[in-house]
Structure formats: structure tokens, C-alpha cells
Structure 1
Amino acid sequence: MTSPSTPPPSAAAVATPADTLDHILHHLLPVLLVAALSVKSFVGRWRLFHSKLSILQSSLADAARSPHWPANPLFVDLLPAVLSTLRSLHSLSTRCLDPSLPAGKLLLQSDLDIAASILSLHLHDLDLLLRSGLLHHLPSASAIVLPLPGPSATRADLVLFARDLFARLQIGSIDLKNKALDSLLQLLASDPPKLAPVVATEGDLPYLVRLLDPSAHSLIRDQAAAAVSLLATASDASRRAVFEDGALGPLFRLLDSGSLSVRERAAAAIEAITADPANAWAVSAYGGVPILIAACRSGSRSPAVQALAAGSLKNISSIDDLRTAMAEEGAVLVLIDLLLSGTLDAQKNAALCLWSLASGGGEEIRDSIVREGGLQRLLQLLREVSDSEAEEHALRAIHALSASPAAARALSSSQGFFAHLTDLIRRGSAATQETAAAVVCNLSPGDDIKRSMAGCMAALVKMLESSKPTSAQEVAARALVSLLAVRSNRKELSRDEKSVTRLVQMLDPRNDEVSKKFPVSVVLALASGGGRRRISEAGACHHLQKLADAEVAGAKKALQKIAGSRLKSLLSMAWRESTVLRPQ
């Protein structure tokens, strides 16, 4: 057996990777394993060294059994570092065999600690290579990283590529890490929904998240932020993995203090993560509310960050505790400012966030939005914006604010606002029509304003026909009943043959797409004067009789109004005729 004190050969004697591995396995490690059991000083530490050296010997032997290890640059690059560490350990073992402890006990102890730390890193890197299976595949000889898989790549190819990238991230130099991240970004960008789940499953996401730390190299941190952002926004599975592996806290740090491009990537990832209510609660744990509000302010220097941060605030505003925190941190003023100064996306998100605060935050928050000028800003946005989605979002916020007595009074007296509602009910999207009709239901305009809205009654009747959602049928019916309180509107609707025909067809018990209580309520309002005869002539009485027999609310009363009026008319006509024909 080689003596523990036998010195290792010089570097010149070890030329090729194969020679290096052979020397480590068959010469250096056996010597060190014996030395670790022979030292007289720091015996406990050397017992630990013996355990780690045994693991190293076993791992290197496993790697050597793969015929492809010489083609793996990560393993080949690792060998000289392992050789250097083992030579240092051999020197330390010689010092520990000398009872006089040359150079002193404290220095020797420090050198042993350093060697132990470096040896642990080598074991980690070697374990990573073995677990990844990369040593059993033959990579391209000229590639710094494996070639980027093409569209037809198999899942096995993608898994191998992901494992290779993450191995290089953890083992390679800064340059190699940068190249690996660049390849990772190219892979994810080529087909995010398909590839992000593979990367999230096969890659080491906790390590990628650690690269977001402020202590990481700035170039690596920026690339890692881009990769995490892509993973967070690409699919549900990869977004969950990013959250579960602790990315939200580091992302908030980057949003708060990163470069402009990194802040945009962090903001995009945070918006995607908080879109899942199961994740949104964690925002408070990382102090995220004030960071998001600060990112929305006009001085944030990035319209994209403003819009994304407003989107995150919109996402978390559905949670009671976070809604309260938003109000306390001054979110209302910032969101109101975004309604006019932000991009279209920022305006949409700000309007939806104000809607959530107003509808779920109670009277105090609604009053603060009105007091700070939120209602006027929303009305201005509604008038000026040409995007249908932004119109609908602004209208939803106005609808929520209309529960405030002060807002309701201001809105109910605005002729221009109701003219706009009329236009939206006539030409808006289905969602906008429903919201506009809901606003009409919440307010109490005067008869003059109701008369001015007669032009949207046909559109409201058409809304009643929509089978889904039933909420649209309900608000359309309620809005029509409100408008039909004015006699001139009842006359106008009764003259609209298409609308009357639609109403009667909706009364037909065989038409099961519409809840009968809604058209019945409209017919009852229409029959209160001016429209009885037209409804009767269109055949409503037959359907109402069946609905009354089925005890549909309001059907019996509507039938009595229409049929009773008709009977009165017939009796009156008969009396007049008998008077004319009676002999004098």
C-alpha cells in the first residue's frame, strides 16, 4: 500500500482527463483515506474528511463507468479542481501528522475548514452530474451547451437539455452560467406554454430563484429574472412551481430596487403569480403592498411597470386584509391618478381595482374614492376612451360607486351620463350592456331623463332574450320597468312591433331559455297604460293564462290588467252601439 506520506506526482505527470481521473482514483484517494485515519491532530474533523472522501471515491468510480464521461465538459472541468483540492488535503494531512503543528493550530484549523467547504462543493457538483444523467449521454463535441431542441424534439430531448442547463448554472463559471441562461431563455421563448412545465419539472427552480438574490452577479441576476418571469407567465403549472419555490419575495425586492428592465420582468411575474387567489395572500408576507403602490406612482419611470403593478393590485384587492392595507397605504389616490395619466392597460387595471375596492371595501372606501375625485375621473375616462373593454371596466367601477348616496345623487341628475348609458346599451358589448343596465337600475333619474332613454328600450328587450347569464335578463327587466314608469315610454314601446313580438314569445311556456318572471314584469309595467291592446293582440293573454296557472309571479295580475281592460273596452263599445241603435 502507498504510504500516507507519499507525495502526489507533479502536475506535469498528469496530462489528460483520463490520467487525472486515474490518478485521483488509484493513487491520491487511497493515500488520503489512509491518512485521514492516521492523523494525530483534529481527529474528529479527519473522520469527517474520511467519510466525504469515501463518497467522492464512490461517485468518481460511478462516473468513470460511463463511456461518455470524457465528452462531458462539466465533468472534465471539474477534475482539475478536485485534483487541486485533494493535493491540498494531502499537504494538510502531513501537517497534522507532525505533533508540533507547523504554522500554528489556528491557521491549520482555518485551512481545514476551507478545504472541507471546497470538498463539499465538489461533492455537490458531482452528485448533480450523476443525478442528472448527463454523463450517460454524448453531447455535441463543439457545443458549449447542448444544441437548442427544435420543434420536433422529443420530451426526452427536452428533459436532457433542461438538466444540462441547470447543471451548468450550478457548476460552471460566470460565462458558462450566462450562456446557459441565454439558452434557457431561447428555449422558453420558442414555445412557452409547452416548454415551461418541462423546465419547471426537470430543472432546479430553487437554484434559479437563488440567482435573484442581490448578492448574485448583476448579469446573471438579470438573466435569471427574465427566466423566472417567462416561467411565471407561461403556464399554470410553471407559475405554481415558481411561487412554491419562493420566488415572490425576491421578485418584490427586484421590483423595488432593480434596473428598469428587471423591474418590468419582476412586475410581469408578480402580476401572473397574484392572478391566482391562492397565491395573492402571500403579498403581505413580503411587504408587497407598498412596493406595488410605489410602482404605480407617476415617478416610477416605466409605464409598463405601472400597468403591471396596477394589475397586481387589482388581483389582490379581492382579499379583505389586503384591500384594507391598500386603502391605508394610499392606493386610492394613486389609482385615480392612473385613470388619466397611465397607459390604456394601466387605466383598465386601475378602473377594475377601484371597482373591487368600491364593491368589496364598504362604505368608507367608496366615500373616499368619491371624495378624492374618483367618480369624476371614471366619468371622464368613460367619455374619452375608445376601447370597449376600458369602457366596461370604468362602468363597473361607476356602478359600484353608485351605492354611495353622494355618487348616486350626482349621477341621477346628469343628463349627459344617461345619454352615454343609452348609447352603451344600444351599441356596447354584452358585458357593457349588462353593466350599463345595472347602473340604470341603481339610480333614480327624473321622468325627463327616462324619456330621453326611450331609444334603448328595444335593446333592453333584446337583452331579455339572452339565455346566459341570467343576470343580464334581470337587469334588463329592471331597467325596462324603471323606464316604463313614464307613460310616453310605454306608448313608444307598444308601437315597436318587433319588441312586442319578442316579449310575447318570451312569455311562451315552451320557451325555456328565459326565466318567465322577467318578461312578465315588463309586460305588467307595459300594461299599466298605453300598451294593453297591442300586447293582447299579439297573443299575450294565452301565454299569461298558462303562466298564471303555473303560479308565475305577476302573471295573474298582468292577465287581469290586459284582459280586464279588453273586457271593459268591449262592454263600452257594445253600450255605445246599443245607444246609437236604440229607437228614439
Structure 2
Amino acid sequence: MHPATVPPPQPPSTPETLEIITHLLSDLLPSTLSITCFAARWQVLRSKLASLKSTISEISDSPHWSENPLLPPLLHALLSTLRRTETLRRHCSDASLSRGKLLMQSDLDMAAGWLSKQSNDLELLLRSGVLHQSTAIVLSRPNPTSSKEELAFFVKDLFTRLQIGGLEFKRKALDSLIHLLSTDDKSAAVVAREGNVGFLISLLDLNAHDSVREPAVHAVSLLVSAGDSPRKSVFEEGALGPLLRMIESSSAPVKEKAAMAVEFITADPDNAWAISAYGGVPILIELCKSGSLAAQSHAVGAIRNISTVEDIRVALSEEGAIPVLMELLVSGNAVAQGKAANCISILASNGEHFRNLLLQEKGLQKLLNLFHDCPNSDTLEHVLRAIYSLSASNSSYRVLSGSTMFIVQLSDLLKHGNIRLQHLSASLLAKLSISDSTKNVLASCMGSLVKLMESVKPDGIQEVGAKALVSLLSVKSNRKEFVKDEKSLIRLVQMLDPKNEVVSKKFPVAVVAAIMAGGSQGCRKKLVGAGVYGHLQRLAEMDVAGAKKAVQRISGNRLTSIFSRTWRE
């Protein structure tokens, strides 16, 4: 016959465990007073035991302590430590049980360390307030109608589980945090205020378990994307360094999330400088070369953000960022192309050195190729800004001025693009030296330029609209075409009206002067008939720049016509 198997002893229930701990602490504290060996170490242990006794008393007084799932494993671990401490007390009190001095010192130090950690975990549980409310294994998530207090309590409970729970509790807490940040816009500010963001950042450490580190970086990326306050909190807790290390050595999905977080953190100019401190420039450049399309997009976005810092611009050129940016213009997705073009425009606007480096990599030609074939308006805007920045170079200026195809496309954008594209297109038309034959082709966009002159925003749009229009009116056929367009003529008269305070009067005055530059009697009659002359006279009396000269041109031609008619009679 087989001997009867003895079942393993069942661990005590949570109430029993708490009772045993209470008795052990009551016995241990006075019994350690008489120990004379290692007195300093036992004084430290007594202090920790006294603190634990107070904490255990508070837990006993909490109305829902027995319902919290985090407490049983903490109490069982504490009971084990107290029993070890009791054994150490006996060894130090009874000479016959003495052990080696160094071994005893080590055991006492370890016991003090365990007691410290377990005391901190229990105090954290108490401070969170979760022992004062009934909770389930996984606290129900707040809904959009939940109060601020309910949301704050959920966040506190979530971070408590994250900090002192086991691996499974941590995973569930992170899943809940990710769901909360993904579905509730107002939750990020509460997480930044009520949660332990520093502990969340500690989970990004490369030594952390993959099942915790990967959702942690996802949670951080959602947190920094939710607004200034959460982003500031994450940055100040030192997230940038760990995120860059994750980009270096993690899986592709984790790299994408980490790069996304870095892009959002560096979107704040006050944070962008720190990339250099963590050695992040070569890491981001390498990700642009070898990462997934999504990771490349976030990496080049971060590079665009940090390119506003002068010292980092130098580092970007030294680390070979410019050829990588050019490659993304050709091979990246639409988002990456737009961010690369935006970065190029920033670099090109910061001195001849960077413009020369960009042009050496055939930057203008690649931008023009993308401009001709780009269907995305956002990307098109960034490309056009980059082209405008490069136009400061004499060689680029000549190429752009002589490209009829490019200039015609600008006129199409003036007629059909959004206000930002119209602004950029007008700026280039006003800046470039365009041949008369090409100006003839652009006559159909003059009405669009007149409309830009009426626009209030963005700043500077009235001026570039007027300058581009004046440039086109240097051609005789365009002047005749303009005065035939009744809608444009009416708009011009309305802008000249002194009562119209929306438009600076020097711009429509400059347009009138351009129309009259050729001395055409037909143009003069159209302008006078539309009511331009009366407005100009009042503007001249108000000393508006150019108004007196414009009046002289119109009235001078009028007197010449009268004298000629009198002589003939």
C-alpha cells in the first residue's frame, strides 16, 4: 500500500496573516531592546518595525482593506520577512546560536532592506486611498460622464497596482491606462497630476520585462501626445533618454511608439535642446535610414523639431542628416516627405552654408520633382516652403525664375489652393524675376491676387498679393485685361475707399499706379469711371504713400486729353 500523502499546509487567510503580523510586531519590538551585538543595525530595524506597526494599525482601521487584491501578497511577503527577523533576533540574543559576524551583518542589512520596501509599498497603498473604497479585481473604467473625483480615484488605484502589484497586475494596469488615454481626452491631465509618472518612466528601462516595457512606452506616447501639461511632466521625469535607448535596441513596433513619443516631446522648443545631451541626433538619423515607414515619419518629425536649435543644426549636418532628408523626399511616405521638406525649409532659411549643402545634394531638383507630382496639400505646403527658402540662393533663384512649368503651377495654386498655398505662391511670384511672356500666361490669376489683398490673415498676405499683382501688371496686355474684369475693379475701388480699414491703402494705390504706368487712356477711363479718382484724391489728402503720384498720373493724363481736344477744336 502506498503511504498516505500529506497535503501541503494551507497558507493563512488574509485576516489571519494580518493578526499574526500584529502579534509578531508586538513581540519583536520590545525584545530587540536587550540586544547588545550589532546595536546600530538593530536600532535601524526597530525604527522600521515601529513604522510598520503604525502602518498595519492604519490598514486594520481601513473599512475595505480585506477586499483589496494588492494587500494579500504584500502581507504574506511581510510575514515571511518578520519571521526571518525573529530568527535573526534569536541568533543575536543567544550566544549558542551565534553565526559568522560578516554573515550576520549581511543578513541584518538584507532584513532592513526588505522591511523598507514592504513598508513603502504598504504606505503607498494607504496613501492612494483605495483601502477606503470597495474595489474589484480590475476597477471599472470611468465613462465620459464620470466626475473628476471618480477619474482621479481610478488613476490613483491604477498607479497603485502598477507600482506594487506583481507582473500580471502591472500588465492589467498598463492596459487600463492605455485604454483610458486612448478614449478619454481629459484623462491625460489627470494622469499627469494624480499618477506617478516617474514610476511609469522607470518601466522603460531596458532591464524591465518586455510584457511591461512595451505597453509602458505605448502609454507614454499617448500621454505626451495629449497636451502641454502631460508632455512637460513626462519630459521633466527624464523620459527622453530611455526612449532614445529603446529606439536603439527594441523591436520595430516599440521603436515606432518610442519615436512617436520623442517627436511629441521635442515639439516643445524648451525640450528640443536635450536631444544632444542624450546623444539622440545619430539615433534619429539612423532610424530615418533603417526604420519602418511609421518610425521614419516620427524620426524625421523629431529631426524637424530639433532643427530649430542652432547647435543641433550643426550636429545634423556633421552627422549626415541632409542626404538622409533628401532620400526621404524621394522614398518616404507622404507624411515623412512633408516633414522632411519642412525640415529642409528650416535649414535653408538659416544661412548660406546649409543652402549650399542642400543644393549639393540636388535638393532643389528633388523638391521640384515632388512639387510637380504631390497630391497631398499638407506635403505640398511644406515642399513649397522649402523651395521658397532655397530661392534665397542665386542659382536657385535663376532656376525658379526660368521654370515656366513651376510658375504656371503656382498660378494654379493661386486659383485653387488653400489660403496657405495661395500665400506661398504669391510670395514666390512676387519674389521671382518672371519673363513678360510668362506673365502673359499668368493673367488669369490676377483676380485671385486681388482677393488675397482683401484677406486679413495670415500676416503679410496683402503685401505679397499686391507685389505679385504689380509684377504682372508690368505687361501691357495684363493691364488691359485687369480693367476689363469688373469684379476685380470693384474690389480695387472698395479697397481704396478710406472707410475700408481692413486693407492698408498703400497696396491698392500701388496697383493703380502700376495700371497707369503705361499711360493708357482706356485704362484711365475704366479707373475713373469705376470711382478710383475720388478715393485717390482723399487718400492723397491723408498723405497715404504713393497716392499723390497716382492722382497726378490720372489727372495728368486727363489734362493732356482736355488740351488735345481744345487744340483740335
Indicate which of 203, 216, 241 corresponds to 2:208. Answer: 216
Indicate which of 537, 552, 555 corresponds to 1:560. Answer: 552
Alignment of 1:233-272 (within 5 A): 233-272=225-264
Contact kept in structure 2, 1:188 and 1:195, CA below 8 Å? yes
Q: Which residue of 2 aligns with 1:17?
A: 14
Indicate which of 51, 74, 83 corresponds to 1:55. Answer: 51
Q: Which residue of 2 aligns with 1:164?
A: 157
Indicate which of 266, 275, 284 corresponds to 1:292. Answer: 284
Indicate which of 481, 493, 497 corresponds to 1:492. Answer: 481
Q: Which residue of 1 aligns with 2:29?
A: 33
Out of 52-61 and 326-335, give the one that drifted further: 326-335
Contact kept in structure 2, 1:40 and 1:99, CA below 8 Å? no
Indicate which of 299, 309, 314 corresponds to 2:299. Answer: 309
2:517 counterpart SS class: coil
> How far apart in 2 are the matches of 1:229 and 1:202?
18
Q: Which residue of 2 aligns with 1:329?
A: 319
Instruction: Write the deviation string for residues 338-382 of structure 1: whole angstroms up to 9, x where unpaired.
Output: 1121111101111111111111x2011012111211111111111
Q: Which residue of 2 aligns with 1:508?
A: 497
Out of 275-284 and 12-21, give the one that drifted further: 12-21
Alignment of 1:346-385 (within 5 A): 346-359=336-349, 361-385=350-374
User: One-letter code of the match for 1:88?
Assistant: R
**Post-superposition shift, 1:18?**
1.7
> How far apart in 2 are the matches of 1:20 and 1:427?
76
Contact kept in structure 2, 1:477 and 1:522, CA below 8 Å? yes
User: One-letter code of the match for 1:324?
Assistant: V
Contact kept in structure 2, 1:450 and 1:486, CA below 8 Å? yes
Alignment of 1:72-111 (within 5 A): 72-99=68-95, 102-111=98-107
**Post-superposition shift, 1:321?**
1.8
Contact kept in structure 2, 1:533 and 1:566, CA below 8 Å? no
Is 1:457 paired with 2:446? yes
**Post-superposition shift, 1:539?**
1.4
> How far apart in 2 are the matches of 1:95 and 1:20?
24
Contact kept in structure 2, 1:254 and 1:263, CA below 8 Å? yes
Q: Which residue of 1 aligns with 2:196?
A: 204
Alignment of 1:120-131 (within 5 A): 120-131=116-127
Instruction: Write the deviation string for residues 398-423 of structure 1: whole angstroms up to 9, x where unpaired.
Output: 01110011110111111111111111
Contact kept in structure 1, 2:90 and 2:97, CA below 8 Å? no
Is 1:467 paired with 2:456? yes
Indicate which of 510, 525, 529 corresponds to 1:533. Answer: 525
Is 1:186 paired with 2:179? yes
Out of 348-357 and 441-450, give the one that drifted further: 441-450
**Post-superposition shift, 1:292?**
1.5
> How far apart in 2 are the matches of 1:34 and 1:380?
85
Instruction: Write the deviation string for residues 435-479 of structure 1: whole angstroms up to 9, x where unpaired.
Output: 011112221122222222222111111211112234110001111
Q: Which residue of 2 aligns with 1:6?
A: none
Contact kept in structure 2, 1:517 and 1:554, CA below 8 Å? yes
Indicate which of 386, 392, 412 corresponds to 2:401. Answer: 412
Is 1:281 paired with 2:281? no
Q: Which residue of 2 aligns with 1:581?
A: none
1:553 counterpart SS class: coil
2:207 counterpart SS class: coil
User: One-letter code of the match for 2:44?
Assistant: L
Gaps of 5+ in 2: 1-7
Instruction: Write the deviation string for residues 475-502 of structure 1: whole angstroms up to 9, x where unpaired.
Output: 0111111122222222222222222222
Indicate which of 465, 475, 487 corresponds to 1:476. Answer: 465
> How far apart in 2 are the matches of 1:451 and 1:400?
26
> How far apart in 1 are the matches of 2:11 and 2:393?
84
Alignment of 1:338-353 (within 5 A): 338-353=328-343
**Post-superposition shift, 1:556?**
0.4
- % identical equivalent positions: 51
Q: Which residue of 2 aligns with 1:3?
A: none
Contact kept in structure 2, 1:426 and 1:456, CA below 8 Å? yes
TM-score normalised to the size of structure 1?
A: 0.93
> How far apart in 2 are the matches of 1:446 and 1:100?
108
**Post-superposition shift, 1:151?**
2.9
Instruction: Write the deviation string for residues 125-162 of structure 1: whole angstroms up to 9, x where unpaired.
Output: 0110111011111113xx2x212223332222222221
> How far apart in 2 are the matches of 1:391 and 1:14?
68
> How far apart in 1 are the matches of 2:12 and 2:279?
55
> How far apart in 1 are the matches of 2:100 and 2:481?
106
Instruction: Write the deviation string for residues 541-564 of structure 1: whole angstroms up to 9, x where unpaired.
Output: 111111111111000001101111
**Post-superposition shift, 1:13?**
10
2:188 counterpart SS class: helix
Contact kept in structure 1, 2:29 and 2:49, CA below 8 Å? yes
> How far apart in 1 are the matches of 2:477 and 2:183?
62
> How far apart in 2 are the matches of 1:65 and 1:14?
23
Out of 69-78 and 541-550, give the one that drifted further: 69-78
**Post-superposition shift, 1:209?**
0.3
> How far apart in 1 are the matches of 2:509 and 2:97?
102
Instruction: Write the deviation string for residues 272-302 of structure 1: whole angstroms up to 9, x where unpaired.
Output: 11112122222222122222221112x22x1
2:433 counterpart SS class: coil
> How far apart in 2 are the matches of 1:522 and 1:272?
45
Q: Which residue of 1 aligns with 2:3?
A: none
User: One-letter code of the match for 2:195?
Assistant: G
2:450 counterpart SS class: helix
> How far apart in 2 are the matches of 1:367 and 1:96?
78
Gaps of 5+ in 1: 1-10, 579-584
> How far apart in 1 are the matches of 2:281 and 2:524?
58
Is 1:570 paired with 2:562? yes
Contact kept in structure 2, 1:292 and 1:313, CA below 8 Å? yes
**Post-superposition shift, 1:520?**
0.7
Residues 39 and 376 of structure 1: CA distance in aligned 2, closer, same or farther (over 3 Å): same
**Post-superposition shift, 1:101?**
6.6
Residues 12 and 61 of structure 1: CA distance in aligned 2, closer, same or farther (over 3 Å): farther
> How far apart in 1 are the matches of 2:563 and 2:346?
58
Residues 470 and 218 of structure 1: CA distance in aligned 2, closer, same or farther (over 3 Å): closer
**Post-superposition shift, 1:12?**
6.4
